[in-house]
C-alpha cells in the first residue's frame, strides 16, 4: 500500500481480562511490520505511551463490569466507525461469565474478607450486551490467522464471517479420534469452529471458548451423549465455563 493512502487508524482497548489476546500480536513476527504498512495503531496502552482519541477501528478486549467501564465503552462506540470484539471475554464474557452463577456479596466475602469499603462493580457482560459489535474474533486466546482475516476484511470493506459449523468439522479434518470414543466429554459438537480444533488436536478437550453455535444441532448432541452414557447434568458446568453471560436465564 502506498504511503500516500491514508492508513486505517486502529485503537486497542482492554477491560476485564488477562490481556493475553493483545499479547498474541507480539507473536506475529515481522508480519506485524507488514500489517503496520496498512494500519496505524494509535492507542495500545500495554505497549505504548502515546495515545489518540481519533480512530476508525476500535478493538475491544475484555468483559464489561463496572458502570464507568460501560460509559467508556459507549464513548468508544460513538467515536469508532467499526467496533471489533476481540477474544472470548469480549465476545461471550469468557470465564468471567462464571461469576453470573455467584453473587458479588459472596465474592467479596471470599476475596476480601473483613473489608468494609464500598466497591464499584456490576453485572459481567459481553461487549455486545452493551453496544453494537461489527466483527468478532472469538477464542481464549484468539488465533492470529483469524485476526488477520478480520483485518483483511476491514481493509477490503468485506467483513469476515465467523464459521457457523461445529469444531467437530475441523477436528475430523485433523483426523483426531473423537474424545467421546475415548470416554471423555467434549464441547466440540456445540461450539463454533474457527480455531482449527486447537485443544482437541493437542490431546485436550474442547471447552467452548469460542462460544455456542447460534443454530446448534441439539438433537445430534443429545444422541452423542446418550450413546456414550453421558447425562446433560454432567455437561452443565461445561456450558457455564465460557458462556455464562450468554446462557438462557443468565441474560
Partner 1 sequence: MSNITKKNLDINVEYLTRVEGHGNIVVNVKEGKLEKCHLNVIEAPRFFEQMVKGRSMFEVQHITSRICGICSTGHCLASIKATEDAIGFTPSEQTRKLRKLALHYETLDSHLLHILFLVAPDCVGAESVFPMIKTHPEVVVLALKVKKICSDLCDILLGRHTHPITLVVRGFTKLPTRKELEKSRELLVELASDYGKALEVIKTLKLPKFERETEYLALSHPDEYAFLDGNLKSSDGGEVTPQKYLEFVHEYYADHCTSKHSKNKRTSYMVGALARFNINHEKLPKNVRDLADQLGLKAPCYNPYMNTVAQAVETLFCAQDSIRIIDEFLAKGINKDEAVSSWPSKNEAGSFKIKAGRGVGAVEVPRGVLFHDYTINGKGMIEKANCVIPTNQNLSNMDDDLRKMIPEILEKTKEEITLQSEMLIRAYDPCISCSCHMLDVKFV
CA distance 172 to 204: 15
Stretch touching partner 1 by CB under 8 A, among 113-121, 128-136, 160-168, 217-225: 113-121
* Contact positions with partner 1 (CB under 8 A) in 21-50: 21-24, 26-30, 32-33, 36, 41, 44-50
- 112 contacts partner 1 (rule: CB under 8 A): yes
- 173 contacts partner 1 (rule: CB under 8 A): no
130 CA to centre of own chain: 15
Which grid coordinates belong to 51? 495515545
- 207 contacts partner 1 (rule: CB under 8 A): yes
- 98 contacts partner 1 (rule: CB under 8 A): yes
State the minimum distance, in angstroms, from the CB of residue 48 to partner 1. Answer: 3
Residue with cell 487508524: 9
The pair phi, psi for residue 105, each rounded to 5°, is -60, -50
155 CA to centre of own chain: 21
- 52 contacts partner 1 (rule: CB under 8 A): no
* Rounded-to-10 torsion of CA 247, 109, 122, 251: 10
State the minimum distance, in angstroms, from the CB of residue 226 to partner 1. Answer: 15
Can you tell me which of 10, 16, 127, 168 binds partner 1, judged by CB under 8 A? 16
Q: State the alpha helices, DSSP H only, in 101-209.
A: 104-111, 144-156, 167-173
Interhelix angle 218-227/232-243, nearest 10 degrees: 130
What distances in angstroms separate CA 185 from CA 9, 77, 170, 181, 200, one per listed residue?
A: 43, 39, 17, 9, 11
**How many residues sit close enough to partner 1 to count as binding (CB under 8 A)?**
64
Can you tell me which of 76, 80, 148, 241 binds partner 1, judged by CB under 8 A? 241
Can you tell me which of 56, 69, 146, 170 binds partner 1, judged by CB under 8 A? 69
Q: Contact positions toward partner 1, by CB under 8 A?
A: 14-24, 26-30, 32-33, 36, 41, 44-50, 62, 65-66, 69, 94-96, 98-99, 102, 106-107, 110-112, 115, 117, 119-121, 140-141, 182-185, 198-199, 201-205, 207, 229, 237, 241
Amino acid at each position: 500500500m502506498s504511503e500516500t493512502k491514508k492508513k486505517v487508524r486502529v485503537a486497542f482497548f482492554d477491560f476485564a481480562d488477562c490481556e493475553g489476546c493483545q499479547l498474541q500480536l507480539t507473536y506475529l513476527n515481522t508480519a506485524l511490520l507488514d500489517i503496520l504498512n496498512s494500519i496505524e495503531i494509535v492507542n495500545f496502552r500495554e505497549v505504548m505511551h502515546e495515545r489518540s482519541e481519533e480512530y476508525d477501528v476500535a478493538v475491544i478486549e475484555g468483559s464489561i463490569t463496572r458502570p464507568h467501564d460501560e460509559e467508556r465503552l459507549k464513548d468508544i462506540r460513538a467515536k469508532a466507525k467499526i467496533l471489533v470484539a476481540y477474544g472470548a471475554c469480549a465476545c461471550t464474557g469468557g470465564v468471567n461469565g462464571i461469576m453470573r452463577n455467584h453473587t458479588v456479596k459472596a465474592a467479596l466475602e471470599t476475596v476480601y474478607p473483613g473489608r468494609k469499603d464500598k466497591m464499584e462493580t456490576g453485572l459481567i457482560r459481553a461487549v455486545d450486551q452493551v453496544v453494537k459489535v461489527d466483527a468478532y474474533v472469538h477464542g481464549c486466546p484468539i488465533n492470529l490467522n483469524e485476526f488477520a482475516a478480520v483485518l483483511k476484511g476491514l481493509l477490503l470493506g468485506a467483513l469476515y464471517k465467523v464459521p457457523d459449523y461445529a469444531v467437530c468439522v475441523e477436528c475430523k479434518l485433523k483426523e483426531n479420534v473423537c474424545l467421546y470414543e475415548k470416554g471423555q466429554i467434549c464441547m466440540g459438537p456445540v461450539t463454533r469452529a474457527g480455531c482449527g480444533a486447537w485443544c482437541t488436536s493437542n490431546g485436550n478437550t474442547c471447552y467452548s471458548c469460542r462460544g455456542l453455535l447460534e443454530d446448534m444441532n441439539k438433537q445430534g448432541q443429545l444422541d452423542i451423549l446418550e450413546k456414550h452414557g453421558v447425562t446433560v447434568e454432567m455437561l452443565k458446568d461445561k456450558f457455564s465455563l465460557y458462556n455464562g453471560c450468554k446462557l438462557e436465564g443468565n441474560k
